[in-house]
Amino acid sequence: MIKQHFLLIDFFSYLQSIMNIGQGVLIILKQIIKNEEHISSRFYCIFFGKAIIGLSCLMLISCTKEDENITAPNETIKIPVIVHIIHNGEEIGEGPNITFEQVKSQIEVLNEDYRKKEYTNGFNINSVGADMEIMFFLAEYSPSGNKLAEAGIDRVNGGRQEWPKGILRNPIETTLKPATFWDPTKYLNIWTVNFGGFTGRDLLGYAQFPSNSGLAGLNSDGGLAETDGVVIGYKYFGSSQKGDFDYIFSPFNLGRTCTHEIGHWLGLRHIWGDGECDVDDYCYDTPNASEPSYGCLQNKYSCRSYDMIENYMDYSDDACMNTFTIDQKSRITTVLNNSPRRKNLYNNYKELVQ
């Protein structure tokens, strides 16, 4: 339907352009027929004016066509990923210096969850459950064009055992990210860190929201380019179902922390809207909830409806999540079309991955 609309506009624009040029020629001919010695400069102006309008229209059509290709509907969005593994000098596979296999297991989870892939944890039969049509790929090349030793991985000795969490996570924002980020118009930057001593339910990860999406519920300024991306505790990154990663902490051991944080990074809010029943997440198909859900509370009821505890944007255990909705997809599509950096990402897939 959208494509037909564009074609119709194209046809009339071409017609208009040709008519403009034609009118210019006609004006010149009329003057010649009238046997005027000189064609006044005014008529030249009209001629050139008409011709320029015609040519401008043709150029505009070309641009419109390019844009149309970028946002072609029903095309899977492919996002290159770089994971900055922040360690403190440990061997690979020891503590926060996680293995390539652990990173790979996380990417697999993302592609199951964002594609609602059958026969995986990411599948659901919810009537509003959406295939987000986004896929994530480990980048093969660095910003300078060098082939990476390990696809999608940038190992960094951060020079400290632990990174403060919560409000005191400033060293991550002020020092670590600006020193290590890769061009966020080309890569989704993920940092894995050791947030600090484990104290039960704690900070698992956090994300930077997009800027200038125009969406309700988001500030126009999501943050700086140099801090753009998501940060995940290394014990909650990847899936213990996909390898021998005993230290990944249950019940957050199936990679859903990253699925959730990338949801924020793409403009989604928590399904309870970070408030009570009168606060929304701006999606009609995620029932209002009065608070987050913890654990796996089937049939949890609040705000006159059952809570969608299986939604990735709730706080349920990893094993209880399997749903993004159609309205959530719509928000993410808006972000990918409008937000600085996000809208450029998927154009770089070919350059960085293959």
- Annotated catalytic residues are 261
Beta strand extents in the chain (DSSP E only):
77-87, 134-138, 153-157, 188-193, 205-207, 230-233, 301-302, 305-306
From residue 119, how far is each of 107, 113, 125, 237, 336 by CA, in Å?
A: 17, 11, 12, 21, 28
Region label for 306, one of left (φ > 0), alpha (ψ between -120 and 50) or beta (otherwise)? beta
User: Which backbone phi and psi does 54 adopt, to 5 degrees?
Assistant: -60, -50
CA dihedral 189, 194, 196, 202 (to 10 degrees): 60
How many residues comprise the chain?
354
R_g over Cα of the chain:
26
Cβ 182 vs Cβ 154: under 8 Å = yes
CA dist., res. 80 & res. 25, Å (int): 52
CA dist., res. 79 & res. 329, Å (int): 16
Place of tokens 């027929």: 33
Number of H helices, E strands in the chain: 9, 8
CA dihedral 346, 136, 225, 345 (to 10 degrees): 0
Cβ neighbours, 10 Å, residue 140? 15
Secondary structure class of 69 (helix, strand, coil): helix
Positive or negative: CA dihedral 240, 245, 248, 250: positive
Pairing state of beta strands 305-306 and 134-138? Answer: unpaired
Distance linking the first and last C-alpha atoms of the chain: 32
